[in-house]
Amino acid sequence: MDKKILITGAAGFIGFHLCKKLIEKGEFVVGLDNMNSYYDIKLKKCRINQLSTSKEGKKKIFNFVKGDIVSKKLITETFEKYKPNIVIHLAAQAGVRYSITNPEAYLESNLIGFMNIIELCRGSEIKNFIYASSSSVYGGNTNTPFREKDSVDHPVSLYAATKRSNELIAHSYSHLYNLPSIGLRFFTVYGPWGRPDMAPMIFTKSIFEGKPIRVFNNGDMMRDFTYVDDVVDSIIKLIEKPALANKNFNKNHPEPSTSWAPHRIFNIGNQEPIPLMDFIRTLEKEIGIKAKKTYEGFQEGDVKSTHACIESLQEWIGYKPYTSIDKGVRDFVEWYKIYYNFN
C-alpha cells in the first residue's frame, strides 16, 4: 500500500517522535497541530523545526498544517488536499489535573475534535485509524496489572472520561462503517522532548533550579514509565497491522478490547512499574543533584499506581519494551541539559 499518513498532534511529544521516525523511513507524512499554549509554544516550534530540517540543514519532505481539530472546515480541507489513507490521531487536550479547572477545553478537543476526525475518516478511504486513549481510563481500578479486558466504566477524571468516550465512539464507527480502528492506552510516556506538564520534566526543572519538588501521596505511588521510542516503534508496527474483526467474538461473554467489528484496544506500557521515589532517585543520580522535596497529600483525579499488562500487544505485533529506566532517564537528562543549557 502506498501510504499517506496524517498525524494529528504532530507538535506534541509522541506526535513529534512518531513523525520524525516515519520521515526518516521515507514515508509521506502530514502533520497537524494547533500549537496551543497549554504548555511552552517554543518547545512545540522547535519540534516542528526539527521535523522540517535535516542534520545537513536541508528541508525535509514534511507537510505541516497549523490548525485546530475542532474546525470541521480545516479538517475537511486537509483530507481533501492530502487524501490520507492512514490516520493517527494523537491531538487532544491532555492532563488529568487541568481537566478539573478547564473542563470545556476537554469537551471541545477530545470530543468535538475527535468526532471531526473520525467523521472524515468515515467518508475517506482510510485503511487504518489509530487513536490515543490513556491508561487513565482504568480509573479507580486497584487490581493490577491493568488488562484491556478489565472494566473501565469508573473514571476518576473528566480527561479519562473523554478518552473512554473516544474508545466507544471508535467502536461504533468500526461497527457501522467497517472502519479499522485501534485505541492505544498509553502509560506515562517519558523521554527527550517531553511534556513540561508531566512529572519527569517538572521534577528535572525543579532539581536544576534548586526548587523543591512536590511529591504527592507522600511518595507512595507507582507509575509504569514507558520510554517514547518503545511507544513509537509499537505504533509503526501497528500501522502495518490494522484491526480485524474477531471471528470468535462471543456476544454472550463480550471481550472489551476486541469485537465482531474491526476494532482493538491495546495497552502500551513498560509492564514494570517504578515506585515514584525510585524514579526520583534515578533522576538525582543522572543529574548529580539531590532534590529538595515537599510531601503532599493525594491529588484529586489522580491514581495511586499504574501497571500495564501488554500480552495482547505482544501477541498482535510482537511488542516488547527494550529501554530500561536507567537508560531512558539518562537519555532524557542528556537532552534536557542541552536544550535548556545546563551543561
Which residues are catalytically annotated?
A: 159
Is 58:25 a contact under the CB 8 Å cutoff?
A: no
Is 50:107 a contact under the CB 8 Å cutoff?
A: no
In angstroms, rounded to a whole number, what is the distance separating the alpha carbons of residues 215 and 140? 20
| The three cell numbers locating residue 244 | 480485524
In angstroms, rounded to a whole number, what is the distance separating the alpha carbons of residues 41 and 66? 13
In angstroms, rounded to a whole number, what is the distance separating the alpha carbons of residues 287 and 336? 10
Strands in 181-186's sheet, in edge-to-edge order, are 63-66, 28-33, 4-8, 86-89, 128-132, 181-186, 263-268
| Amino acid in the structure at residue 64 | F
What sections of the chain are H helices per DSSP?
13-24, 41-52, 72-82, 98-101, 103-106, 114-122, 158-177, 199-209, 228-239, 276-287, 311-317, 325-339
Residue whose C-alpha cell reads 520534566 in the numeric block: 201
β-strand 181-186 against 263-268: which pairing, if any? parallel
